[in-house]
Structure 1
């Protein structure tokens, strides 16, 4: 069947501005559509708000009806058409094709008729304009969309309202890919046929570049995006899940390992995961990939490694060197020429002798891209003949009978040759920069360059290393950041070890990042807080490496500074890895009576956010006495108020109230955090009047600090306290909280603020707005794999109860029922009691059991579908 969906663009605005005129226009609109559809053999089987749904046996008839209607309509109507199989139940149709037609329609504009490719392929004699492949909401793959062109119809429209921006972290390539067309086609075909493809080959052969090119070309086929994990910066196999979880924004779920949590969060996701540089972490990468594959049938994997991962059904694709057989027309020479032209303008016109020298260089370098690029970089100061003549001296493994050695030896000597051409200072900086994980900036380079290093001298050396292709520069974030190809980094690291300086420089690296705490916390405690979060996001790999070094080498002061800084920034951005660092330091810090032991306990206690509630309660109980003793340092910014959080979760809110009041009596609440935590504890203790009283002056205290997190948190707490007694005031406060959080990048209040807005709107305001807020909170927590997703789902239960969607509410309630939703949430319990009364105990229990048995992916998918249906019904009222 072919289905036609229509909708009036901007109908809500028209109803509000001229209801009488809209009523008359809508009557004329309905008459035009009825006549156009029925005159061409169609069946108008449903009205949806201000639009209609019609079915046709012929795709041509559907298009004719749409064109005829558009010519006669006065209102701006958008139309979408798709063809496929559907099931007729009574007077209604069901099936994926209807969703496709609806999404095609939603992408268009008033006066526009759009077709899905399923319909376009069945038509002849119709003037169609291809608008290209488009990713549309709720469709797992991109589809080609066509616009119908006919006499009497508009031809020019704004761009489609499609989800064209691909999620993920795939960045545009910095350079062109030469000579890889056949490999690209081969890898794409393998990846479409198999779920795991591993690119193998020697270091420097271009595995990473080829993988990223393939990922870029396939990005439109993965609705949930392409995600790249650069494992070269990960040295500990046990940290592979941490690195992947941080990139994806996934938190550990209670009762599950981090690997299991990642796998669960990716269930039903249509994603391409690119695991780059797996050779030193083969078992860890393979274990994680196998776990994800077992959980999700829709995720695909592209890996690069010097050898296969050893996983069943893994498709190995060897990446060969660039061809040199065609001489001047070979891909290897084309690569050399392009890279040389970028550093030497004169290189574009070579003599016959120089051209022959280039061909010989490429041949003798075995067509390995990295070696060729290193040679080409010398064209700014040498001729091709001079480079060729140096090969006999620098790359003896490439001549005679020794050419049969392993290719990574060839590459090692290519790097060594470039390394030997550096000045002593450049060489030293390259070696020392090998300790960085995930890149570095100028300040960090100065920190390892040596005592008293001049910033401008270091900058000159960095510039030289970039020009010589030994460092890669990235300016995409508005700040210059440097990194190394992994083969070069390993080579430089070996030289650092040979010099006997590796331990010293790694310690300098760790001291540098441990010493950033005062500066970054000062940024955090200011209107420039966003810069602190951005710093944390780009430096988390370096912080991880620095923590590991300090913790393993007895630098408890450095490890503690990193753990506390990372925890403060991580908790507010939903990255709970640093909290595990604080947990790790508890025992060694307690053994020596460390001065920051109290702060470590406070940070460790925040592990309840990641679902480790029993551990958090233990840390909270022990941390309380340490804070009270004053023997183990002050907790920064009054964060000790957060020690009551675990008690609230387990239903002991009165203990949290007592704790916060005892700390307030000590007059250390500089940012209002302790009082804000008191208000939350009072709310959960069902002491609403006291909670409201405690908010007096709270926001003003926070505003005086100029700390966005303090202000956003205070506004969230203020709105929570007033949500029952003064909903308009509560809505205003929480909306402002979410706006600040969104601007600064505070994911915590952004997510939980949306959940609070959903609850208030559900009970006192606009149901449509409540669903939007609830969906935002659900998506954020679901994407992070956070078990707290049950909280906004519970809000949705209450909303569906008020709207009479009792079956859906009961199903979701079965999943949402947990300590997170029953503690301090009387509105949820009240909703469940009402739903039980309406449905009856047997029906409610049956639906609730069904929901309880669902996976997180399953229940959220059900919730999204029910919200879409509810919105459609609300718009038709």
Structure 2
């Protein structure tokens, strides 16, 4: 038994972290100079994000027991905004609510202080979760639903296209769920495991066990029987059958273990709850759209926040707002694609960046700290494409000729491969399962589409094949037949 004390509370937003007890505000690990009154006001605002605090409440917080003029509050709020780098059209943190007061409008990730808690500590420590990303944008609802689902079912798979943000969400869920399991939450990164037979050993190593080889699964099961913990199995798709088999046995023989998996396709075993992570909501492309309205949409908010974190001088004017909306729409609300674009926004500006999107797979690079598969959108989709069967690759390339949604019937016309081993219907279902084709329900009808990022990739693969002209002619003939 050990006593574990949590760290003092902190509030993270954008590139900033606020530590009230330490009277410290840092931006990307660099301290920000801030007066004591302004610090107290900022603390009051971030403690209740989204809540309008009246001027009297803020005056009482900043000047307790003193009678001061309202002008003092305005001066300190202005000082706060300068310290946070707010400019017209840039990411906004503090909004003025006319006639009422002020409201903190940016997403806030909170780390609360805790009591000393007695805990059993398994091999290797209480948990090995990677650091969570501060200020996750647009995923609070998803995180809450997944946590609720994990309480009801022992296996939940977060499924979505590459770059959707599955790992980020999974780590946030695990942090919130860790308090419900006495033996902690454990993260297993399977991306670097290229031998399916090594999946049980990789899980065992993440738990601090030194077992190897054929005995790994048996020793893993012996270790987990009677323990109450959460396993986060990240990036399962390339080992899907091996991970599914191992997970099924773990659930059967370790009844207090829960599993949270991330994958581009479900494990498809008994008891699995599947949560398909949706894209971030993007703003509509409207000429009348204003810069301030962008922040109501998580895709645009993420773009602005990440671009501003890279360059404090970055800002979006009202005339640029429709362009930012189009960038977010073109990037399908994919978190990775938006972050890649944001990294380049300060170099090119939003207008030039929009023109580069047709070649985005060559132009947009990630951070050195990101894994290789996330360095470009090409690398992210390569990861999925290389896992497909040859029939699935052929069908995906052929479906890229559809500029928008398509029906099952039209897909079969274009995608017919002549292979006896599988039909276009089966292959289309597999591509939907693997998050490369999106199925959209509309009443009693189902339509299908490729995300724009996936379509561009598949069109390039089609152009490199020897059937480009033939497939395009088949598509033209099908349009004429429908008319």
Give the direction of change, closer, same or farther, for the CA distance of 1:342–1:320 in structure 2 (3 Å limit). Answer: same
Give the 3-state SS of the residue equivalent to 2:261 in structure 1.
Answer: strand
Listed as ranges, the matches of 1:275-354 within 5 Å are: 275-325=233-283, 328=294, 329-347=296-314, 349-354=315-320
Q: 2:194 aligns with which of 218, 235, 244?
A: 235
Residue 218 of structure 2: aligned partner: 260
Higher helix share: 1
1:191 partnered with 2:150: yes
CA distance in structure 1 between the aligned counterparts of 2:113 and 2:342, rounded to whole angstroms: 41
How far did residue 138 of structure 1 move?
Answer: 5.4
Q: 1:253 to 1:346 in 2, by over 3 A?
A: closer
Per-residue CA deviations over 1:697-739 (Å, capped at 9, x if unaligned) read xxxxxxxxxxxxxxxxxxxxxxxxxxxxxxxxxxxxxxxxxxx
Of Structure 1 and Structure 2, the greater strand share is in 2
Gapped runs of 5+ residues in structure 1?
A: 1-129, 141-164, 395-413, 419-467, 474-482, 499-877
Describe the superposition over 1:628-655 as per-residue Cα deviations: whole angstroms up to 9, x where unpaired: xxxxxxxxxxxxxxxxxxxxxxxxxxxx
Distance 2:177 2:205 in 1: 24
Aligned residue in 1 for 2:174: 215
Structure 1 residue corresponding to 2:118, chosen from 102, 117, 136: 136
Which residue is 1:469 aligned to?
366
Secondary structure of the corresponding residue to residue 383 of structure 1: helix
Work out whether residues 373 and 379 of structure 2, in 8 Å CA contact, stay in contact via their aligned partners in 1.
Answer: no
Judge conservation of contact 2:356–2:363 (CA < 8 Å) in 1: no
2:374 is the counterpart of 1:374: no
Normalising by structure 2, what TM-score? 0.50
* Partner-residue secondary structure (3-state), 1:246: helix
Which residue number in structure 2 is paired with residue 398 of structure 1?
A: none
Match of 1:491 among 375, 379, 384: 379
For the residue of structure 2 that corresponds to 1:228, the secondary structure is: strand
1:222 Cα offset (Å): 2.1
Cα 1:166/1:358, change in 2 over 3 Å? farther
- Indicate if the aligned counterparts of 1:470 and 1:488 stay in contact, CA closer than 8 A: no
Map Cα deviations across residues 286-320 of structure 1 (whole Å, 9 max, x no partner): 11111211221111100001111011010000000
- Describe the SS at the equivalent of 1:275: strand
1:177 equivalent to 2:136? Answer yes
Q: Is the 8 A contact 1:200 1:306 kept in 2?
A: yes
Q: Aligned equivalents of 2:263 and 2:269: distance in 1?
A: 13
The change in CA–CA distance for 1:358 and 1:494 in structure 2 (over 3 A counts) is: closer
CA distance in 2, matches of 1:335, 1:493: 21
Which residue of the partner structure matches residue 504 of structure 1? none
- Does the CA contact (< 8 Å) of 2:232 and 2:261 recur in 1? yes
CA distance in 1, matches of 2:238, 2:382: 15
Alignment of 1:2-401 (within 5 A): 132=114, 135-137=117-119, 167-252=126-211, 257-325=215-283, 328=294, 329-347=296-314, 349-391=315-357, 393-394=358-359
Give 1:380 deviation, angstroms.
2.4
Q: Is the 8 A contact 1:226 1:271 kept in 2?
A: yes
Q: Distance in 1 between the 2:280 and 2:168 partners?
A: 13
The structure number with the bigger radius of gyration is 1
Q: Report the Cα distance in structure 2 between the residues aligned to 1:242 and 1:369, rounded to whole angstroms.
A: 31
Find the aligned partners of 2:242 and 2:261 in 1 and give their Cα distance.
Answer: 13
Please state how far the C-alpha of 1:223 moved relative to its aligned partner.
1.9
**1:378-405 deviation line (CA, Å, top 9, x unaligned):** 12211111111223x32xxxxxxxxxxx
Aligned-partner SS, 1:346? coil
- CA-based RMSD: 3.2
Cα 1:139/1:253, change in 2 over 3 Å: closer
Q: How far off is 1:492 after superposition?
A: 8.7
Give the alignment of 1:343-742 within 5 angstroms. Answer: 343-347=310-314, 349-391=315-357, 393-394=358-359, 414-418=360-364, 468-472=365-369, 483-486=371-374, 488=376, 491=379
Could you tell me which residue of structure 1 aligns to residue 450 of structure 2?
Answer: none
Aligned pairs, number? 264
How far does the alpha carbon of each residue in 1:671-719 deviate from its partner, in whole angstroms, 9 at most, with x for none? xxxxxxxxxxxxxxxxxxxxxxxxxxxxxxxxxxxxxxxxxxxxxxxxx
Gap runs ≥5 in structure 2: 1-111, 285-292, 387-483
Cα separation, partners in 2 of 1:494 and 1:314, compared to 1, 3 Å: closer
The Cα of 1:205 is off from its aligned counterpart by 0.6
Mapped contact 1:166–1:220 kept (Cα < 8 A)? no
For residues 255 and 192 of structure 2, what CA distance do their matches in structure 1 show? 28
Do the aligned residues in 2 keep the contact of 1:472 with 1:485 (CA within 8 Å)?
Answer: no
Report deviation, 1:253: 9.8
Q: Cα distance, 1:351 vs. partner?
A: 1.4
Change (3 A) 1:490 1:237: farther
User: 1:198–1:302: 8 Å Cα contact kept in structure 2?
Assistant: yes
CA distance in structure 2 between the partners assigned to 1:485 and 1:494 by the alignment: 8
Q: Is the 8 A contact 1:471 1:485 kept in 2?
A: no
Distance 1:490 1:231, change over 3 A: farther
Whether the aligned pair in 2 keeps the contact of 1:187 and 1:214 (CA below 8 Å) is yes
Aligned partners of 2:138, 2:340: CA distance in 1, in Å?
A: 18
Structure with bigger RCO (C-alpha 8 Å, 6+ apart): 2
Listed one character per residue, the Cα deviations across residues 497-532 of structure 1 (whole Å, up to 9, x for unaligned) are x9xxxxxxxxxxxxxxxxxxxxxxxxxxxxxxxxxx
Q: 1:492 to 1:190 in 2, by over 3 A?
A: closer
Rounded Cα–Cα distance in structure 2 between residues aligned with 1:216 and 1:192: 14
Secondary structure of 1:381's match?
A: helix
The structure-2 alpha-carbon separation of the partners of 1:293 and 1:134, relative to structure 1 and needing over 3 Å to count, comes to: farther
